[in-house]
Amino acid sequence: MISGGGTGGHIYPAIAIANAWMEKHPDSEVLFVGALGKMEMQKVPEAGYKIIGLPVAGLQRKFTLANLSFPIKLLKSLSQAKRIVKEFDPQVVVGVGGYASGPVLYAAQGKKIPTLIQEQNSYAGLTNKILSKKARRICVAYPGMEKFFPADRIVNTGNPVRKDLLNLEGKREKALDHFGLDSNRKTVLVLGGSLGARTLNQGVLREMEEFEKDGYQVLWQCGKFYFQEMADRTEQSGLKHIHVREFIREMDLAYAAADVIISRAGALSVSELSLVGKPVIFIPSPNVAEDHQTKNAMAYVMHHAAVLLKDVEAIGNLKKEVDQILNNPDLAESLGENIKKLAKPHATETIVNEIEKLVA
């Protein structure tokens, strides 16, 4: 059983683990448990797995009316999680973070079923910190996680990523053709996550004419919340080399086309970009618990493996940072080489090995 979700940063690692497990153990049955109304309820069935939704929701950091229903939803979810765990009777339960993982792992631990936590970030979430006390194994992606978890149960595996990112060799021409890009222009790939990032979008809007005038092209995943506005603004501008997408499914091709990448610093993004080995400008989201995206990015900046641009400084400075990299081939090359040194391409297989030890 695999539980968690809420964002792509939780869902895609969960699916990667399930896929790798089923490759080795095709006769197994995998059941996902997620949160009703969250994106896992769509993405997991698309990947070919069954999922059950719980009514659990997050507790808002500031007071809202939604917080009043939190205890009721939590109690209901705990009750349903106990029933689901009893009926499915899993040999092991994996929690990837997100609202649903709390009730499910709590229920499994209550029945003495082995549990494994996969913590993607450099700063552990509260739910995982609580659940780690009874978890048999905690798979992490960053050093120093013993400040959150019992040291004797930590395994530094890295984060699971999609298999198609492991080899981008020879995909550039196909990528340029797929996205309708110009082979004579440098490609700036902008990634704000599946929902979008206002600062990144405003930054590109402000400087898109300069990008095009100076011979760049932009492949821009702006997110579903902003897509219509960004598409309209781009069309009105008459620019031919600013390519707006709500969501990019073919991420291997997007990475293959890119000469420089501007991205948020969610844990999954950071892990994927390590494998890609291209120069990256991280703009951490300030709207996350304990500013963990900045901590994720700094772990790479310390190794001269990425550039950090603060969210408050991003609008008006995007092109300057891009210019500094693309006008300096040695810098671009060293950033790409250094970030690849931090990659863990076998993370998924290592996690599957740890699950196998718990099942044995």
Residue 190 β-bridge partners: 220, 262
Residue 70 pLDDT > 70, yes or no?
A: no
- Annotated binding residue at 202? no
- Annotated binding residue at 269? yes
Instruction: Dump pLDDT digits (tens) for 213-243.
Output: 999 999 999 998 899 999 999 999 999 999 9
Mean pLDDT, residues 87-96 taken together = 98
- Annotated binding residue at 181? no
Mean pLDDT, residues 265-285 taken together = 94
Tokens 């304990």 map to which residue?
A: 290
pLDDT > 70: percent of the chain: 95
Query: What is the reported pLDDT for 60?
Result: 55
Mean pLDDT, residues 22-51 taken together = 96
- Annotated binding residue at 270? yes
Query: What is the reported pLDDT for 8?
Result: 76
- Please tell me if the domain spanning 2-159+345-359 has the same topology as the one spanning 164-341: yes
Residue spans per domain, the chain: 2-159+345-359, 164-341
- Annotated binding residue at 194? yes
Average pLDDT value for the chain = 93
Q: How many CA atoms lie within 13 A of 26 on its CB side?
A: 1
- Annotated binding residue at 7? yes
Mean pLDDT, residues 281-289 taken together = 90
pLDDT band at 68 (very low <50, low <70, confident <90, very high): low
- Residue 97 corresponds to which tokens in the numbers above? 């973070």
- Annotated binding residue at 268? yes
Query: Residue 216 CA to chain centroid, in angstroms?
Result: 27
The CATH class given to the 2-159+345-359 domain equals alpha beta
Q: What is the dihedral of CA 74, 80, 82, 83, to 10 degrees?
A: 170
- Annotated binding residue at 79? no
C-beta separation of 93 from 354 below 8 A: no
- Annotated binding residue at 116? no
Instruction: Dump pLDDT digits (tens) for 6-26.
Output: 877 889 899 999 999 999 999
Instruction: Dump pLDDT digits (tens) for 147-199.
Output: 999 999 999 999 998 877 878 989 999 999 999 999 999 999 999 866 668 89
Residue 31 β-bridge partners: 50
255: Cβ contacts below 8 Å, ≥ 6 apart: 165, 168, 189, 261, 272, 276, 278
Best CATH choice for the domain 164-341 from the list 1.20.1250.20, 3.40.50.300, 3.40.640.10, 3.40.50.2000: 3.40.50.2000
Query: What is the reported pLDDT for 177?
Result: 98
